[in-house]
Structure 1
Amino acid sequence: MQTEKVIEHIVGWLKDYATNAGVNGFVIGISGGIDSAVTSTLCAKTGLDLLCIEMPIHQAASHVTRAQEHISFLKSNFSNVTDIRVDLTPVFEEFKTEVSLDGNQATVDMALANTRARLRMTTLYYYAGLKGLLVAGTGNKVEDFGVGFYTKYGDGGVDLSPIADLMKSEVYELGQFLNVPNSIMKAAPSDGLFGDSRSDEDQIGASYPELEWAMKVIEEGKTISDFEGRKREVLKIYNRYNNSNKHKMDPIPICEIPSDLK
């Protein structure tokens, strides 16, 4: 990958899109992970306004520390970057008092994890509207179009996606070139939606390099029957997530009314 030219292309695309949309710049949630770090740095390089928002909800201390380190890095290198911290923990806890928490615990936990992402989306759009900004998405290609590992109308609710055509490994390449803090480069990817130390790999059952491999061989027309052992298991995992998350990756179904009924 021609890393420097890819960076220049994305930065130019971001700047052109924002200018044509008549907005002041971008707003982005900073999680302490590689995707938000790279995306926010690319947005900062446009020279347009960039508002970075921390939105902790019972967040792991390591996530908070990495997020703050990255924001400090951005502010020391780009004069167009500002930041704000919105503690959503009280909002989340109040929400829990108004809804039913009965039922299977794993199902409740997942519903609440997705609620965290949707509270953050709401916060980003509040400030986007307030300051005339676009919400920049942080999803990469394998998450957005491979396994659908994001929350519908949560971190999937964005105005534009600068790195959605890049594999996770390519995002790391950009991060290295952009001097993203080493603590973020080395951290295990995690969505941080459960308030504990579980990683994306813990949840999915496969690493991002494995998922990228699966996405590639499926695009080449290969099937599970072509492989054995761990590779076969990875393809099963990939296919399971890809199939169950189609509702996120495909356009919303529309019930088309036959012309003779109108």
Structure 2
Amino acid sequence: MTKKNTIQVEKVNTHIVNWLKKYADIAKVNGFVIGISGGVDSALTSTLCAQTGLQVLCVEMPIHQHKDHVSRGREHIVQLKAKFNNVSSIETDLTPVFETFKNEVPAHIDDKKLQLTLANTRARLRMTTLYYHAGVHGLLVAGTGNKVEDFGVGFYTKYGDGGVDISPIADLMKSEVFALASYLKIPDSILNAQPSDGLFGDEKTDEEQLGASYDELEWAMLADENELSITNFSEREKIVFDIYQRLNKANQHKMNPIPVCEINNI
């Protein structure tokens, strides 16, 4: 599987930081709020926002969080605050809120659907929390989704981590996220960790959930965009391409605008 060439990290870094500053100036806000998960996407996004010199609030929002996710997130926050005096942090423990919610809704349903729905509920509670902090501090909620997740396979929660004001890294493939994060010296513990959404309270990786690695999905996304012939694919490439197309089709409701029933000249 052939991937495209890597980005010019220094130029891309400068471009995104300038874009963030310009957008914040036009929006007349004080800065940005970012949910810190212990993953590379949130680490990169918060570092890019920090470089603007504007207020940056990093929010930890544990819900039965795996200890490795928590430790990686905190390591990043400590490093970021040491580098930038415009960065602050806060922890909002959402575990009691989540448990209260669970006790108030029906639970006698298909277990697989229940677990997925509760995982998405975690993301939606976090979105609400970020917008609370954004509202009281005059900040924008900065999204942490990359290109493969946001526009390829739709690997995010609708009105959860998909509910944001701006998306600084949504035009970067996952490999490009890692390249830029490495350039910005994101902690090795994060760079070396297997990507995981952390919505199930364990170390279940994104690859385990998706059935393919991000490198493979990047290849499939480019193959789809370039309309490559499946007849030339290896057996593994055919499997990955099928996974990509299936997820892309199933998650169009996330990636497309909300359908509106237009009333014309009735």
Q: TM-score normalised to the size of structure 1?
A: 0.98
Show CA shifts across 1:39-73 (max 9, x none).
00000000000000000000000000000000000
Q: Corresponding residue for 1:206?
A: 212
Matched, 1:163 2:149: no
Show CA shifts across 1:183-235 (max 9, x none).
00000000000001100000000000000000001111125444241000001
Matched, 1:9 2:33: no
Aligned letter for 2:79? Answer: F
Show CA shifts across 1:140-196 (max 9, x none).
000000000000000000000000000000000100110000000000000000001
Q: Corresponding residue for 1:113?
A: 119
Aligned letter for 1:54? Answer: E
Give the Cα–Cα distance (whole angstroms) in 2 for the partners of residues 223 and 50 of structure 1.
46
Q: Corresponding residue for 2:151?
A: 145
The sequence identity of aligned pairs, in percent, is 65
Q: Corresponding residue for 1:243?
A: 249
Q: TM-score normalised to the size of structure 2?
A: 0.97
Please, which of 185, 189, 202 is the counterpart of residue 183 of structure 1? 189
Q: Corresponding residue for 1:130?
A: 136
After superposing on structure 2, the runs of 4+ consecutive aligned residues of structure 1 that deviate more than 3 Å are 223-226
Q: Corresponding residue for 1:41?
A: 47
Give the Cα–Cα distance (whole angstroms) in 1 for the partners of residues 77 and 27 of structure 2.
26
Counterpart contact for 1:26–1:51, Cα < 8 Å: yes
Matched, 1:87 2:93: yes
Counterpart contact for 1:224–1:236, Cα < 8 Å: no
Q: 1:5 to 1:47 in 2, by over 3 A?
A: same
Secondary structure, aligned partner of 1:128: helix
Secondary structure, aligned partner of 1:50: strand
Q: Corresponding residue for 2:4?
A: none
Please, which of 56, 59, 62 is the counterpart of residue 56 of structure 1? 62
Secondary structure, aligned partner of 1:222: coil
Return the offset for 1:257. Answer: 1.2
Give the Cα–Cα distance (whole angstroms) in 1 for the partners of residues 108 and 121 of structure 2.
16
- Ranges in structure 1 where 5+ consecutive residues have no aligned partner: none
- Ranges in structure 2 where 5+ consecutive residues have no aligned partner: 1-6
Give the Cα–Cα distance (whole angstroms) in 2 for the partners of residues 3 and 196 of structure 1.
32
Kindly tell me the number of residue pairs found equivalent between the two proteins. Answer: 260
Aligned Cα RMSD in Å?
A: 0.7
